[in-house]
Structure formats: structure tokens, C-alpha cells
Amino acid sequence: MTFTTAYTPVSAAFASMGAQELKSFYEGFMLNKPYCLDDLIQAVWQTPGYEQWSADFSPESLDVLGEWFAARISDSAQTAKDAAVRDMSDEEKALAVAVGMYYGEVAVRNNPQLGWHQLKGNKKQADYGQPVISDSGKLPTNPVRVAHAFASGIADGSKAAGRLRETYDYWMQLIR
């Protein structure tokens, strides 16, 4: 699988990929991350009411990003007939990837012991082959999976906009 911004972390595709294909996916993810982040920041700033968002990669910036992302997902969910069983559109998947990248960068930039890695090891791991944030392999967290779960919760009404920041704060408690 070649890197695309419209991918889902909930996939068995990574377990079936060879070493070179996994390496290529990770390199594509990391190479495109700055561009995806720039596009995300511009999209937020171009949205009325969010022009003053401080995209400074602080934990506090996740509050506004969570609100913005939740509004995008809620708008899409309202147009879907059955939001509980609908699949995310490619646009929503791409937004979730970008939000996940931002979420991950907040963690890395505020915690020097954390870094981006590709999860290797057991192919039965849910995030095998995917970009994760961890401290030398301890408690690896897939930020794109976090953003996808957040989007699913918003779509089905089980999560509120503040959940993105709450999830980050909980994760930080676990690693300290």
C-alpha cells in the first residue's frame, strides 16, 4: 500500500505488506507530514470563527482543533442517513490523518523523550507497520487511530469535541 492521506488505521493491509512496502509507507507518511499539517492549519484558519486559532502545537491547541474537527464530522454525519454504520468518506479519512499527525506532533514537541516510529514486531498488533509515537517502544500510540476513533465517536454521538484533548491528557499521565 502506497501512502495516501485517505487511509484508515483499522486495516489488515499492514500485516500483509512486505518489509519494503512498509518502509515505503512510513517514509511517505513522514515526508508528507509537514505538508498535511500546513494544509490542516490553513483549512482551520479559513473557517469562520477559527481564524485566530493558535496552531502552536501546544496541548491547549487541541481544544480548538477538536471543536473544529468535530464540527466537520458532525456536518457530514447529519447528511448521512445512518451515521452509526456509515463509512468515513475519503475527505474525512484525510482529515483524520492530518488531525492525527497534529496530535502526534503535539506529543513529540512537548515531550522530548517521545518520537515517531514505525511499529514493528508482531503482525497481530493492531498498529503493526503504522506510524506511532513512543518512548523507545514503550506504550506506542497511533495518533491517526486516535483521530479516527474520535471522528467515529463524534459521528455516532458518543463523544464530545473536548475528547481529543482529554485523550491526550490521559496519555500524558500514562507516560510520566
Distance of alpha carbon 106 from the chain centroid: 11
Average pLDDT (154-175) is: 89
pLDDT at res. 103: 98
Q: How confident is the model at residue 13 (pLDDT cuts 50, 70, 90)?
A: confident
Domain boundaries, the chain: 19-175
Residue 85 has pLDDT above 60, yes or no: no
Average pLDDT (121-137) is: 89
Contact 97, 5 (CB under 8 A): yes
Question: Per mean pLDDT, which range of 56-65, 66-75, 110-119 is the poorest?
Answer: 66-75
pLDDT in tens, 93-105: 999 999 999 999 9
Cell numbers given for 98: 492530518
| CA-wise closest residue to 8 among 119, 128, 129, 94 | 94
pLDDT at res. 172: 94
- pTM attached to this predicted model: 0.90
Task: Work out the angle at residue 173's Cα, subtended by the Cα atoms of residues 168 and 176, and round it to the nearest 5 degrees.
Answer: 120
State which of 55-59, 91-95, 150-154 shows the largest mean pLDDT: 55-59
